[in-house]
Each structure stands twice: as C-alpha cells, then as structure tokens.
Amino acid sequence: MDNFRRHIYNWYSINKRDLPWRNSKDAYKIWLSEIILQQTRVAQGTSYYLRFIERFPTVKHLAQASEDEVLKLWQGLGYYSRARNLHASAKIIVNSYNSVFPNSYNDILKLKGIGPYTSAAIASIAFKQAYPAVDGNIYRVFSRYFGIKTPIDSTAGKKQFQELAEVLISKKDPGMHNQALMEFGALQCTPKSPDCKKCPVSTSCFALQNNLIDKLPIKEKKTKQSKRYFNYYLIDDGTHVYIKKRTAKDIWKNLYELPLVENTTELSNEGLLQNEIPFFSGNDFNIKQVSAAKKHVLSHQIIYAKLIYIEVNPNINITSPLIRVNKKDISKFAVPRLLEQFFEDFNLVNSTK
C-alpha cells in the first residue's frame, strides 16, 4: 500500500493540472469548485468557477445575492439543485457561523447539498483533517488496482471502498492525498481506454494483470431514464413574450421557462394544433411555426420538446398567471439550456455557440 501511495503522490506532483482553486486553502473556494465539478467536466466548470468567484468573492457576497441571480450565473451547468443548495448554505454560514466557513467535517456535512464526499474534500484540503473523499474516480482506481469486484452501488461495496479509503488516507497531508487520487482517476485511470503503459502502478495492478480493465468497477443497477414530452408556447406580441417560473418539485425548480404543456406521448404537429391553444383567449393570433422536436438528455430523463411559436395581438387576454417580459430582457432570466437553445433558434438571445 505504501508503494501504491508513493507512486500516486509522485505521479501527482508531475501531472497535476494547474487549476485556479488548486493551491487555495480557502474553504469557500474549495467548496465552490467541488460543487461545480460534481457532474461537470473541468473544462466547462472552470469558467463557471471564475465567474462565481469574481461576482461572489466571499461567502457573504453569495449569501446576499438573490436566488435568481445565482441561478442565472449557473445557467447551462445543469443539476440546478446544486446552485439552490449553494445559495442556501451560504446563508446558513453567514447566519449561523458568523460568515466563517465551519471547519469540522461534521459541521460541513450538515450544510445543504453537501454529502460525505464533499465534506471530506473540504475538511481535508482546507483544514488538513484525515477524511478520505470517495468519488467515482476513487471507486474506479481502487476497484481496478486492488481487484475489488463488489458492486460500487451496493451497500456492501460502499462500505468496503470507504474502509479501504480510510486505511489508505495520509494523516500527514490528507488534502494532497485526496487530490492526488482523484486526479489520477480523472487523468490516468480513465473510465475508457486508460493508457496503462504509462501508469506508474501497472506492474501491481490487478485489472491490468487479469485483463479486467473494461469489467471493473462493477455496477449493480442500470440507470433508468424516463421519457417526457414538453410542448412550449412562445407567445409573441411583437415586443413581449410570456414566461413563468417553475416552482414544482421537479427538474429545473425556480428557473424560468415558456408556458408549457406536458404530454405523456409525443403528439404530431396536427395533433398539437387540434386542441384549443392554452394560456390566452380570443382568435386574434397566428401560429407562425411549430419546431421540430429537440431531444434533451438528463441523467434520469429524456425530454422531447417542441416549441409552438404564436404571434398574438398586444391586447390579447392572457388567462394564465404568466410574466410578461420585453424580448430585450429575456436573457436576464435563468432558463434551462433546452430553452436557451430554443431562444437562440428563434433569435430571442444571441447564440452562445
């Protein structure tokens, strides 16, 4: 085990990426980077991190912002509960910890949106506490190197990997240890086709010696994805369009979107237009276009979305609680990436591509 650690630390000192949060011991910055990097690639996450730090240099700045602003800055990253929890936790730190980031693993764990992995990462990197941060990278490296075949998503597997991580953690420099292992998993022992010829621990790697690299780690359950069919209505009176806030306990909570009708199956364009147009009354409208369906893939859902573009008279009688927005201001609202793409297609915002 000592050999394994020595090789990994040495590999890390040579290969670690120069990331903007890498040399910081500021718990706020480490927290922000960890939350952004959950389910997000470093290349995409870095620009978001820099924008967040510029706009909210301290936890106090973040706590004082409106949730709308935080969500707007988060737009495009997905998994928006991360942003809502980040904001809620910033308020807790300001109100309950006098704006000073809590410095114990257990207190950090109590914050919203922080699980054992993130708490361990912050406690080890910012406060030198010996808690192992066990994420997907660690599961993969341990499973392959040590030949662990217990499924990583089973209770027994989680326990086994956690126990091994606790044995391995460096008491002297746990922050470096955690970062070295995570970086090794991200860059060297990659999910697909790792370059084992270059690996410093190849001679003692179980998976390489036993030709099991593609088989490890083992996962018990397959992620199920449900299908949803969204029909958005772009109601345009020439100067304004109408939007609403998503408030239900569902994806994209507290983001804005166009008025929506969700169906259980995909409707043809004819089928869509057969029914009465919802959200307003009167006949003074013109259906300009029905878009092709866009496929939007999330971790547990696949959304097929169409947009029905309707031109209406400015005096139209809106029958739903919608927000009337000048088209020039639409980019100020945080919307899901799917909607942003529709807005780009219909020239409501400038393309970010």
Active site residues: 34
Number of residues that bind ligand SF4 (CB under 6 A): 13
Q: Rule CB under 6 A: is residue 202 a binding residue for ligand SF4?
A: yes
Cβ 6 to ligand SF4 shortest distance, Å: 14
Beta-carbon contacts of 210 under 8 Å, excluding residues fewer than 6 positions away, are 147
Cβ 114 to ligand SF4 shortest distance, Å: 29
DSSP string, 204-230: G-HHHHTT-TTT-S--SSPPP-EEEEE
R_g of the chain, CA atoms, integer Å: 24
Is 196 or 325 the residue whose CB approaches ligand SF4 more closely? Answer: 196
Cβ 201 to ligand SF4 shortest distance, Å: 5
Cβ 193 to ligand SF4 shortest distance, Å: 10
Q: Rule CB under 6 A: is residue 194 a binding residue for ligand SF4?
A: yes
Q: Which of 30, 207, 235, 339 binds ligand SF4 (CB under 6 A)?
A: 207
For residues 120 and 113, what is the distance between their CA atoms, to the nearest angstrom? 13
Tokens of 84: 């809502």
How many residues make up the chain in this entry? Answer: 353
Its sign, for the CA torsion 80, 73, 52, 18, is: positive
Q: Rule CB under 6 A: is residue 145 a binding residue for ligand SF4?
A: yes
The contact mask relative to ligand SF4 for 210-229 (x = CB under 6 A, - = no) is: ---x----------------
Fill in the amino acid letter for 186: A
DSSP string, 236-267: E-SSEEEEEE--SSSTTTT-EE--EEEESSPP
Selected range binding ligand SF4 among 52-60, 115-123, 189-197, 297-305, rule: CB under 6 A: 189-197
Is 77 or 201 the residue whose CB approaches ligand SF4 more closely? Answer: 201
